[in-house]
C-alpha cells in the first residue's frame, strides 16, 4: 500500500430542517453557516462553500479519505443541531429532518456548483425546496419517491414569504 493517498471527491450535500420548517432568520442562518465552516475545518474536512437557507442547507465538500459519506453528514447534522440548541438560536428544540441528498461534482463543475450554492437566496424566490430537491434527484438518475420525507416538503407560495415558523417541538407557553 502506498504511503500517500491522493483523493478528490467533491460532494454537494443537501439536508433540511425537521418537517422542512422555515426556522432560520438571515442572521441565524449566517451563524449556522459559520459554525459549519469552522466545524469542517476543525475536523479536517475541506468545505469549499455552504449556504444555510431558512429550511435547508447546501454544502460543497471534498470528502476526506477514510470517512464515509453518511458519517460525514451525520457529523455535520449532529454537531450543528446540538450547537443550535445550545446557543438557543431558535424557539423550542431544533432538529434536522430525516435523511439527506448527496450528489457528486466533477472538478470541472466545482465553480459552477459554488455559484449555484451562493445564489440560493435568489434561486428560492422562484423555486421551492421541494422542486429543487426533486430536480437534483432526477438529474442524477435516481428514482424520486413520494415517501414521508418528501411529503414533509410543503408547497409554498411563489411569492417570497420571509416569515418563519416556530419549532414543531417548541416548549409550550405557560399562562401567567
What domains are defined for the chain?
Answer: 10-151 (3.30.70.1290)
- Check whether 165 has a pLDDT greater than 80: no
- Residue 155: how many other CB atoms lie within 10 Å: 8
**Which cell goes with 23?**
426556522
Compute the half-sphere exposure of residue 113: CA atoms within 13 Å on the CB side of its CA. Answer: 23
Give CA separation, 150 vs 47, 120, 130, 131, in Å.
Answer: 27, 20, 7, 10
Lowest mean pLDDT: which of 89-98, 105-114, 164-173?
164-173
Indicate the pTM of the whole model.
0.79
Q: What pLDDT does 171 receive?
A: 37
Please provide the average confidence, as pLDDT, over all residues in the chain.
Answer: 83
Q: What are phi and psi of 29, to 5 degrees?
A: -60, -40
Q: What pLDDT does 149 receive?
A: 46
Q: What pLDDT does 83 receive?
A: 98
**Which cell goes with 161?**
414569504
Amino acid at each position: 500500500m502506498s504511503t500517500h493517498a491522493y483523493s478528490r471527491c467533491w460532494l454537494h450535500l443537501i439536508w433540511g430542517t425537521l418537517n422542512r420548517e422555515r426556522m432560520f432568520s438571515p442572521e441565524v442562518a449566517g451563524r449556522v453557516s459559520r459554525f459549519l465552516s469552522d466545524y469542517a475545518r476543525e475536523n479536517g474536512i475541506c468545505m469549499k462553500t455552504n449556504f444555510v437557507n431558512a429550511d435547508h442547507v447546501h454544502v460543497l465538500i471534498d470528502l476526506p479519505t477514510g470517512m464515509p459519506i453518511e458519517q460525514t453528514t451525520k457529523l455535520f447534522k449532529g454537531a450543528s443541531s446540538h450547537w443550535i440548541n445550545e446557543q438557543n438560536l431558535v424557539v423550542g428544540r431544533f432538529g434536522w429532518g430525516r435523511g439527506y441528498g448527496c450528489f457528486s461534482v466533477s472538478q470541472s463543475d466545482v465553480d459552477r456548483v459554488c455559484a449555484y450554492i451562493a445564489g440560493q437566496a435568489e434561486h428560492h424566490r422562484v423555486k421551492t425546496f421541494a422542486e429543487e430537491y426533486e430536480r437534483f434527484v432526477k438529474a442524477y438518475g435516481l428514482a424520486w419517491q413520494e415517501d414521508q420525507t418528501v411529503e414533509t416538503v410543503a408547497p409554498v407560495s411563489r411569492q417570497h414569504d420571509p416569515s418563519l415558523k416556530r419549532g414543531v417541538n417548541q416548549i409550550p407557553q405557560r399562562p401567567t
